[in-house]
């Protein structure tokens, strides 16, 4: 199983609101956008090279935080 599938599986068992709180976002709207973009990403390579940045995390740092779930 690919690492991104393991992470997606792990976070699917936790409420999205709990995830965004643990990620330290002050805006649930921005956090949910980031989380949904990750979930919808084609694969890990695409996510990591997407250039994603939301003034809190880059794509790489966002993924690192999600790995803690």
Determine the pLDDT at residue 4. 85
Determine the pLDDT at residue 40. 92
Is the confidence at residue 1, as pLDDT, over 80? Answer: no
Domain count, the chain: 1
In the structure encoding, which two tokens stand for residue 62, read together?
């966002």
Determine the pLDDT at residue 2. 86
Range of the domain at 29: 3-66
- B/e letters for 26-51, b = 16+ CB within 10 Å, e = fewer, are eeeeebeebbeebeebeebeebbeee
Could you report the per-residue pLDDT of 15-66, keeping only the tens digit for each? 988 888 889 988 888 889 989 999 999 889 999 999 999 889 999 999 999 8
Q: What letter does residue 14 receive in the DSSP assignment?
A: S
């Amino acid at each position: 199983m690919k690492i991104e599938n393991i992470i997606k599986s792990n976070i699917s068992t936790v409420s999205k609101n709990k995830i965004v709180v643990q990620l330290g976002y002050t805006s649930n709207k921005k956090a949910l956008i980031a989380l949904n973009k990750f979930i919808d990403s084609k694969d890990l390579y695409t996510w990591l090279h997407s250039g994603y940045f939301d003034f809190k995390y880059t794509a790489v740092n966002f993924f690192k935080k999600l790995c803690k779930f």
